[in-house]
Amino acid sequence: MVKIIYSKKCLEFGQPGHPESPERIRSIYEHLKDDCEIVQPMAATEADILSVHTADLVQQVKSGRFYDADTPAYSDIFSYALLAAGGALTATELMLGGTLSMSLMRPPGHHAGKGFLGGFCYFNNVAIAVVRALNDIDRVAIIDFDCHHGNGTQDIFVGHDRVLYVSLHQSPLYPGTGFRSELNCLNYPVMAGSGEVEYLDELDRALDEVSDFEPGVVAVSAGFDTFKEDPLTNVVLDVGTYEKIGDRIKSLGKPILTVLEGGYSEKLAECVSSYLKGLER
Ligand SMILES: [Zn+2]
């Protein structure tokens, strides 16, 4: 059974009309709470954040002195971002102890690079989790199936010889990166309008590379904005496709941790639940 890492504190910030809303997480939690064990996230420390980000970025988020139209300087965002990073660290601890888990915390993280925030992301949760895992594990693969390219994750790990990053994403689309692979960052752009068949084809190619890398563990940046009703994007997957994605990732036969990234449709909870069903098979 997958453990869900969640604290209702992550519902405390938001802005009317912003797609990255507390309602996203509330809906998933309500959908899963009766069938999953809920685990509270540990809070990340500043040292954890500094393991991937610059002191300048940490200072900006802490002080609220930054401007990004998509990524508001919410009051106390620093502590919420620490808790979301802590959710990812909790997922690492559970994984190293042999338990499947998914962190449902927000804000998401994969657009935050070493020295920059953006795209609803302040600190890179999955990257912080991976750096922690690298203390115990020789090689870690990151699979990012959010509809947007994880430019932040790529920025943090490009050239790192113990990390493989594979990303499937709609292209062209925000943030305008990931057209081609760079070193250990393998990018699989998919066209607007792509459905399950084309998508799973690309995923299989990406997972072959993950297998060849022989990682000790797999970290997943799970975004559900590839769903056909998502308001921000144009890939057209069905709810049931996520079960197939989960099943394929599970078939790698490695310990897995999952961190939530995007997903903005009314059926986000069903998509997440479908993915977990695949992982649990
Ligand atoms: Zn996204």
Q: What single letter denotes the amino acid at residue 120?
A: F
Distance 268 CA to ligand 1 centre (A): 12
* End-to-end CA gap in the chain: 10
Q: Percent of the chain having pLDDT more than 70?
A: 100
Query: What is the pLDDT at residue 69?
Result: 94
* Bridge partners for 185 per DSSP: 165, 182
Read off the pLDDT of residues 107-164 as tens digits, 9 standing for 90 and up. 999 999 999 999 999 999 999 999 999 999 999 999 999 999 999 999 999 999 999 9
Look up the CATH number of the domain holding residue 217. 3.40.800.20
Mean pLDDT computed over 186-192: 98
Q: What is the pLDDT of residue 58?
A: 98
Helix axes 22-32, 268-280, angle to 10 degrees: 50
Taking the complete model, does pTM exceed 0.95, yes or no?
yes
Ligand 1 centroid–CA 147 distance in Å is 5
User: Which member of 110, 111, 148, 149 is catalytic?
Assistant: 111
Total domains in the chain come to 1
pLDDT computed for residue 44 by the predictor: 98
What percentage of residues in the chain have a pLDDT greater than 90? 99
Provide the domain limits for residue 93. 3-280
Angle at 110 between CA 107 and CA 116, to 5 degrees: 90
Active site residue 53: no
pLDDT at residue number 26 = 98
List, for residues 261-281, the tens digit of each pLDDT value.
Answer: 999 999 999 999 999 999 998
What's the 145 CA to ligand 1 centre distance in angstroms?
Answer: 9
- The predicted structure's pLDDT at residue 142: 99
Give 196-209 pLDDT, tens digit per residue: 999 999 999 999 99
Give pLDDT, residue 18: 98
Express each pLDDT in 13-71 by its tens digit.
999 999 999 999 999 999 999 999 999 999 999 999 999 999 999 999 999 999 999 99
State the distance from the centre of ligand 1 to the C-alpha of 222, rounded, in angstroms: 9
CA of 263 to the centre of ligand 1 (A): 6
Q: How far is the CA of 159 from the centre of ligand 1 (A)?
A: 24
Q: How far does the centroid of ligand 1 lie from the alpha carbon of residue 170, in Å? A: 9
